[in-house]
Structure 1
Amino acid sequence: MEQQPSSSSVPTEFSPLAQQEPPKNMGDLSKSYDRATIFFTRWGAHILDHILLACFLLGLLSLGISIAKDANALYFFILAAIILCSYYVLLEGLTGYTIGKFTFRIIAVNAEGQPPGLWKSFIRSLIRLFEANAFLLGGLPAGISVLASDKRQRLGDLAANTYVVKVKDLNNVSKKQTTVLAVVFSSVAVLSIISMIFGIIDLASKTPTEEIFYSKDKKLQITAPSDWSKDSALHDEADIAISNRISEKYLLILSDAKQNLDSSFTLQDYADFVEANIEDSVENVSVDKPIRTVVNNQVAIQFNAKGEGDGVKIAYIVTVFETPTHFYQIMAWTEQKRFDSLKQELQKVSASFREVK
């Protein structure tokens, strides 16, 4: 009689999770876990992933600042966003793991106990943006869902029909792939930490530089730190308009030709005119006593004002001065809560105004 080959001689398709034995019911397996235990395990994996991503982002931030003035900066940041979004979609979709999950020995699987695949992983990751976002309710919806759902699933799991289970409870997990992933994930974690270290060193060592901004006719200029940029959206008629919208600091220069004003119009009259405009356009405005300063080698009048615009509390530094042909107003502003820390910079930038000879 011809001998039949043993089952061990039949080749099996390589898979992250071998299927030599029938997989356990993932829903029942997930349901068997203690709520608090699986919650804190998933929470720990989530925190570790965020720490590593933050380290990576810090390194990218340093590189991004270095090339911010380059024409390819936009493409760089788009690439960075794609890499970050792919972290969860690709890793969980193809392996079931993130670095955090691998470290805490839990894995995302489909109903058959296999990695969920890219589509299910995309669904999980899309909903993660809302339910597990540290900046949106602190990830509270995901935690509540894991604790309250019958099978310990967050909202993304419910939508994608996936489960997070303990690796030790799965049948015949591939030791070879576990070793490979351990090496790869360890390398990625080390590179993220190195990226953070070099990012901190690079950011700390950067010497602030200054940039000169010109009016359209190149007759006026103002000097500001290099983190400022032109911002024509601030005012349609501004000679120069610059800002740093991330740091909420803004400045614009407006001019009025003397030939269009009464010949008796003085600098003090112009200062009163500018102050009246602010009082008309800003709610709950208060104006400090003006002081005398020097701008463009000319005597200038400067005053601080505070008020509200569109529900935002704003603080202004307003400087007015004259040349033989024009009156000028330099208006610099920021949020009131930032004013004390930015006041000196706003004053320095305002004082840097020059006419181009």
Structure 2
Amino acid sequence: MKRIVKYSFVLITLLVFSSCIDKLKQAVDNFSGSSNQPESISASNFSTISIDNLYKVSIPKYMKNMPSLHDEASLEYANIFKETYTVVIEEDKQSFIDGFKEFGEYDENLSPIENYLHIQKQMFQEVIEDIKIQDYGLTHINNLPARQFKMEGIVDGLDFFYVVAFVEGEEHIYMIMNWTMKDRRFKYENTFEYINASFNEL
């Protein structure tokens, strides 16, 4: 049960943190303008960040390290003015499998990445109102088993948009979670997809 509670805590903490940005909404709009055109995803606009010789990922240069985003994340980057947030959380793969087998929540007929996807979707559905999830059909990121989906939903009365990817490494399973306000979806959706596609285990 401890592991299941931990998963719920991870999601709730991430989502509740985002709710504070409504206080910055007017200032953000004045600062960045109302353009909702998609950003350029030229490689020159990104920096490659390596974490503990474990993985690397490309992050927009305007996003800065923000260690206060989440205690469980190994990577935490954000730009509060653009309302863009990215975190990476990794789990020991065997511990994940053993933990959910113990509670009868692991499906032996599915791969580890499919089990992880299914369980995380259930967690999101418990904490996000009016949730809408759209799968990509993606199966690999840089030759690693992976899944990805877009998600919209309401948290604390605010509409958010997410692009979430799950990647199965040799010893870890990773969640790459990107989010912004729903009305900025079309501006940052391609950027979030680029971040996820750049992920690679070292």
**1:140-159 alignment to 2 at 5 Å?**
none
Maintained 8 Å contact 1:257/1:327: yes
Measure the CA separation in 2 of the matches of 1:241 and 1:293.
25
Q: CA RMSD in A?
A: 2.2
Letter in 2 for 1:213: I
CA deviation map 1:207-246 (0-9, x unaligned): 953212232x242221122111111221111021111111
Maintained 8 Å contact 1:213/1:230: no
Maintained 8 Å contact 2:55/2:201: yes
For structure 2, the residue ranges without an aligned partner over 5 or more in a row are 1-25, 28-42, 99-107
- The aligned residue for residue 243 of structure 1 is 78
Q: Which has the larger radius of gyration?
A: 1
For structure 1, the residue ranges without an aligned partner over 5 or more in a row are 1-134, 137-206
- The aligned residue for residue 8 of structure 2 is none
Measure the CA separation in 1 of the matches of 2:199 and 2:76.
12
Identity %: 25
Letter in 2 for 1:238: A
- The aligned residue for residue 47 of structure 2 is 211
**Aligned structure 1 segments of 4 or more residues deviating by more than 3 angstroms:** none
Measure the CA separation in 2 of the matches of 1:240 and 1:232.
8
Secondary structure in 1 matching 2:97: coil
- After superposition, the Cα gap between the structure-2 partners of 1:293 and 1:229, relative to the gap in structure 1 and judged at 3 Å, is farther
**1:186-201 alignment to 2 at 5 Å?**
none
TM-score for both structures, normalised by structure 2: 0.68
Measure the CA separation in 1 of the matches of 2:92 and 2:73.
13
User: Could you say which structure has the higher helix fraction?
Assistant: 1
Give 1:321's match in structure 2, choosing from 150, 159, 167. 167
- Post-superposition shift, 1:290? 4.3
Q: RCO higher in 1 or 2 (8 Å CA, sep ≥ 6)?
A: 2
Measure the CA separation in 1 of the matches of 2:134 and 2:45.
32
Maintained 8 Å contact 2:151/2:161: yes
Give 2:58's match in structure 1, choosing from 199, 223, 227. 223
Measure the CA separation in 1 of the matches of 2:172 and 2:142.
13
Letter in 1 for 2:196: S
- After superposition, the Cα gap between the structure-2 partners of 1:248 and 1:332, relative to the gap in structure 1 and judged at 3 Å, is same
Measure the CA separation in 2 of the matches of 1:293 and 1:347.
14
Secondary structure in 2 matching 1:291: coil
Alignment length, in residue pairs? 151
Question: Is the aligned partner of 1:278 residue 2:124?
Answer: yes
**1:154-169 alignment to 2 at 5 Å?**
none
User: Could you say which structure has the higher strand fraction?
Assistant: 2
Give 1:252's match in structure 2, choosing from 69, 80, 87. 87
CA deviation map 1:9-52 (0-9, x unaligned): xxxxxxxxxxxxxxxxxxxxxxxxxxxxxxxxxxxxxxxxxxxx
- The aligned residue for residue 181 of structure 2 is 335
